[in-house]
Structure 1
Amino acid sequence: MVASSFTARRSKPELVTPARAMPRETKPLSDLDDSRNLCFLEPYVEFFSPSSSQIVVCDDRPAPEEKKRDPAAALAEALVHYYPIARRMRELEKGKLVVDCTGEGVLTVRNIPPCINTLSEEFSRAKDDDIMWTTPTESMVCEYFTFSSSNIAALRRLVPAKITNVVTSFELLTVAMWRSRTVALGY
């Protein structure tokens, strides 16, 4: 039986600042990024198999010296090159959002999970055969698509009449691409 919950201890919040000075500027969001309908928070937990270069900390047992790496130092270095991440969001007149690249850094919290000594039977039977992960990249076709106004009009004719006037071109294209993708992958 799979446990329905586990408890991870949290560290105190830590502000990680960029390793070096970075540009101080303001970047406006695009109208699409600024859409209130697209703003949401997606909570999730990810599990990764440790590699020999990652810290393995379990119930406060220290990792061997050769495995220690400081994630905060790596993040500080990444913030130099991806400096808009070390920012604050600011609202201008008429509700327009901008990215204020202040270099203040990002707030991080480390979680220390309990040790897992054995895998549940359900996990040992799990298959990793999803076509998206097992198809070699060189066997995939990556193309750009251009949709004309007549293509979008053709897609719009497939939409039920009661919602055809409220569906945006972006939504039409997203649905068409998603459906094509799932059919092509055999989902």
Structure 2
Amino acid sequence: MDIDNYKIDDKTLILNISEKLKAFDMPHYDTLSKKTQEKLLEVEGFINKSEYVISNSLDTIKQFSLTKSNIAENTSFSRRTLYNDKVLVEYIEKCSKMEFDYSNGSELKNFKIKYNELKELYDNILYSVIDIQDLKLSNKKLNEELFNMEKQIEDLQKLIIEKDRTISELQNNLRRNNISLIKTK
């Protein structure tokens, strides 16, 4: 990586700056003062150089990370030899655990695990809330049905009382009529 000779032509930098200014909803590059344009060129040059260095650094970190594959590629013995020697395997695994995580891969992995756990918890809570809402709606409908049935029962009880009176009156009338018939005989 030859960072001292890394350079991007001004045309490309101006194009990058113009696109970013537009995306950031800022004034167009051509409307800015010459001093501001020069400073933006310098800043964009540094940003591009930084991105180049970081990208290459990540590639270098991956290339030299303590994996069995990388070690086999960069030593005098084959991967098969490495895997067949239990002492080598254990040594590499333990050294690998001690290696600083430059790319935050393990932290990222832990975040992904936590994210998945939280997403699952969120989904479960969401389904529970939906179930509760369904139960509330169902309960409301059942309460309405119960109210209507109670009203029907009340109406039927009134009707029964009314019919009992009618029957009682008819029975009384019948008895009177029977008594009258018996007397007339």
What TM-score results when the alignment is normalised by the length of structure 1? 0.19
Richer in strand (by share): 1
- 1 or 2 for the larger relative contact order (CA 8 Å, sep ≥6)? 1
Larger C-alpha radius of gyration, 1 or 2?
A: 2
Identify, as 1 or 2, the structure richer in helix. 2
